[in-house]
Amino acid sequence: MTYINSLELKLSFKIISSMFSILFRFIQVLLLSIRHMSNPDLPIIKEGWKGNPMVKNSFVNEDKPSDMNMIEFMKWRLYKNPQKQEKKEDTFKVGFVKNESFPESENDMIIWLGHASFFIRLGGVTFLTDPSYFSFPFRTRKVPVPCSIDRFKNVDYVVVSHMHHDHADMRSLRKIFKDNDKTEALVPLRGGMYMKHFTKRYQEAGWYQQYNTKPEVEVFFLPTFHWSRLHVFDNNKTLWGSFLIRANGKTIYFGGDTAFGNHFSEIAKLFPEIDYAIMPVGGYKPRSIMKVAHIAPDEAAQAAAIMNTKHFIPMHYGTYPIGQEPSGEPIREIKRMESEGEMIGCVNCLSVGEEFLIDSENGEQITFAACGEAASPANGYDCVREYLTKETPEFGAGVEEVSGVRNPELPVDEMVAK
């Protein structure tokens, strides 16, 4: 009798608790209007993924609204910078190689165009990432694009990680689509609301979805911990994320903009070995505010370790003044960690315009100098064809133009350790 009573009690407790859970979920849905969104036309690659959660019609990070709201944004703008003087005195400039030929080359390669903009050719398929080629009001570009942007012809895909001006510059996008009527944009969910002004050829994807692409390449949209806004009233109305491109037996991860989060482990579960990780490392100070939007260099290194990346390519530094840190601090920190053995794989600090070749049969070759250092026999270059410091009306003195041919006998990590 006692046994039956206790069974009944357990059963009623279970029923009541599940009723409460349903009621709680119902209230949550009613009050917060949580729903999940994905593109029904694209496959989802993560088992059990319901789609991206949305609260009150806005995208969120891990089921909670983004911490970066208008108040935090204003705080960031008004925050007194303790490194103001150090930032002012920092003479760091990213390396720059004028290079007009890579758009027509047939080699698979990664070319940094500055900030988060890259030209990638993998398996013969070409990509432009997060196009932003000009200065903005109060945000002057510190390094030129390595070639005339008229040369970006017959580009297959433009990938846009999220709608922030420094990643989705409308002027740059308009120019690309004006010159390339066959180019397709691969964008986050609802990103089409901006892309439709330039092209009809775009696909929107949610996290863990695979875009419908040419058979020789696979492109996946993956999470980041971030937010989005282009205008005053579109906060988080479009999704944000990162990309994984796979072709010819190689994987390139393009990290977009992100704070640190569990998403790196989730990505690692799906893609246990990443050949090249292009990771943001700048715009991380003040930490109290920026920690919800941008990873610091040590977190980028930690993320690369979680994702087991073979090559780490830093980006999102030295091009626009984003964070309060001195402009050379992110890359100095990356180099310090590398020299102290705190980073896995090879660290490849590219100069803007440097050809970072991807050769699936013979390993990787690097041409030109890295991290703004002059190419010289001392840092692994066989011959130095040209090294000059130019003064341009737009970018002033000190933009380094370097070129050289790297000694193929010298291992990549030995070169980047310099």
Report the sign of the C-alpha dihedral through residues 338, 322, 59, 40, in that order. Answer: negative
Instruction: Give the Cα separation of 141 and 116 in Å (integer).
Output: 12
Alpha helices in 218-355 (DSSP H): 263-270, 287-290, 297-306, 329-339
**Count of residues for the chain?**
418
Task: Rank residues 186 and 371 by Cβ distance to Fe ion and give the closer one.
Answer: 186
**Two structure tokens written together for 94:** 């990213």
**Two structure tokens written together for 301:** 């290194």
Least distance to Fe ion, CB of residue 179, Å:
26
Least distance to Fe ion, CB of residue 391, Å:
32
Alpha helices in 33-138 (DSSP H): 70-78, 84-89
Least distance to Fe ion, CB of residue 365, Å:
32
Strands 209-210 and 202-205: unpaired
Q: Alpha carbon 15 to chain centroid distance?
A: 47
Phi, psi (deg, nearest 5) at residue 408: -65, -15
Task: Rank residues 169 and 401 by Cβ distance to Fe ion and give the closer one.
Answer: 169
Task: Rank residues 99 and 228 by Cβ distance to Fe ion and give the closer one.
Answer: 228
Least distance to Fe ion, CB of residue 77, Å:
15
Instruction: Give the Cα separation of 331 and 349 in Å (integer).
Output: 8
Task: Rank residues 128 and 160 by Cβ distance to Fe ion and give the closer one.
Answer: 160
Task: Rank residues 79 and 387 by Cβ distance to Fe ion and give the closer one.
Answer: 79
Least distance to Fe ion, CB of residue 300, Å:
15
Least distance to Fe ion, CB of residue 13, Å:
47
Task: Rank residues 258 and 351 by Cβ distance to Fe ion and give the closer one.
Answer: 258
The burial of 358, by beta-carbon neighbours within 10 Å (0-12 exposed, 13-18 middle, 19 or more buried), is given as buried
Which positions lie near Fe ion, rule CB under 5 A?
A: 164, 257
